[in-house]
A and B are shown apart, each in its own frame.
With several copies, the nearest count.
Chain A
Amino acid sequence: MRVTIRLFAVLRDLAQIAELQLDLAERTPVSNAIETLATRYPRLQPMLSRSAAAINRAYAKPDDELHDGDELALIPPVSGGC
């Protein structure tokens, strides 16, 4: 299956890419997808451990499973407001 990965803020700057596709086994958990991403972009490693994840625009847990066509966003510590 194919999942869209979205990177924001410091993660995008570190990876120098905002969006990519990952081909993963059906029902891969979020944590495994993040490991795959960290292997491909080693510079993300330190920040990924401090980031949350969202599947299709809602916060997700590490063992939530991904499905074909999902959008997995990595959410570094948020700092909106002021």
Chain B
Amino acid sequence: MLNSSGDFIALVPNALKIDAAMVHLVDEHIGGVNIFLGLTRGEKNAAGQALLALDYEAYAEMALHQLHDVAKRARAQWSIVKLVIWHRTGRVAVGEPSVLIAVASPHRAEAFAACRFIIDTLKAEAAIWKKEVWADGTHTWVGGG
């Protein structure tokens, strides 16, 4: 899963664990780490049904290629010592993380900016989709209406 820069990029079928990511962020040149976790947020649909979970599906070969490309673009703009980009596939219940991005840099401004760039670009471009699973058993593809 490590590319030539040592970035840890993966599509992950089971729960994302932040301490598993922290293990990768060890280097004495690190001064600031910025981490973003995206979680399934509880909500209700127009029919008053509660959201139970989001089901994530990826075009894995393309999405992984895209995530490595985003990492490369981030490294071209900011000083990055260590980088983790993990995205879930499968069912992510309310309160659980679907994405974990961790950027370790010499200084905090770089870590914040690169982390924000990566999540924004991932959301806009990566070949990943989510389906809302409602309490009454119905489901809807986001953007698929």
B122–A77 contact, CB under 8 A? no
Which of these binds chain A: B18-26, B42-50, B126-134? B126-134
B123–A73 contact, CB under 8 A? no
Quick check: is B87 within 8 A (CB to CB) of the other chain? yes
Interface residues of B (CB under 8 A from A): 31-32, 38-41, 56-59, 61-63, 65, 87, 97-99, 108, 119, 122-131, 141-144
Residues of chain A from 37 to 82 with CB closer than 8 A to chain B in the complex:
47, 54, 57-58, 73, 75-82
Supposing A57-B65, A81-B98, A81-B99 touch, asked if A6 and B122 sit within 8 A by C-beta, the answer is no
A81–B122 contact, CB under 8 A? yes
Q: Is the interface of B mostly helix, strand, loop or mixed?
A: mixed
| B39 closest partner in A (C-beta) | A82
| A79 closest partner in B (C-beta) | B142
B98–A78 contact, CB under 8 A? no
B141–A78 contact, CB under 8 A? no
| B124 closest partner in A (C-beta) | A78
Complex Cα spacing A13 to B141, Å = 10
Supposing A57-B61, A73-B62 touch, asked if A81 and B119 sit within 8 A by C-beta, the answer is yes
- Shortest distance between the CB of A43 and any CB in chain B (Å): 12
Q: Which residues of the other chain, A, contact B98 by a CB distance below 8 angstroms?
A: 80-82
Supposing A78-B143, A82-B32, A82-B39 touch, asked if A6 and B59 sit within 8 A by C-beta, the answer is yes
Supposing A8-B57, A9-B129 touch, asked if A80 and B141 sit within 8 A by C-beta, the answer is no
B32–A78 contact, CB under 8 A? no
B126–A76 contact, CB under 8 A? no
| A57 closest partner in B (C-beta) | B62
Complex Cα spacing A81 to B88, Å = 9
Listed by A's residue number, 24 A-B pairs whose Cβ atoms lie within 8 Å are: A8-B59, A8-B127, A8-B129, A9-B129, A9-B144, A10-B141, A10-B143, A10-B144, A13-B141, A47-B144, A54-B127, A58-B65, A77-B142, A78-B124, A78-B126, A78-B129, A79-B123, A80-B58, A80-B98, A80-B122, A80-B123, A80-B129, A82-B98, A82-B99
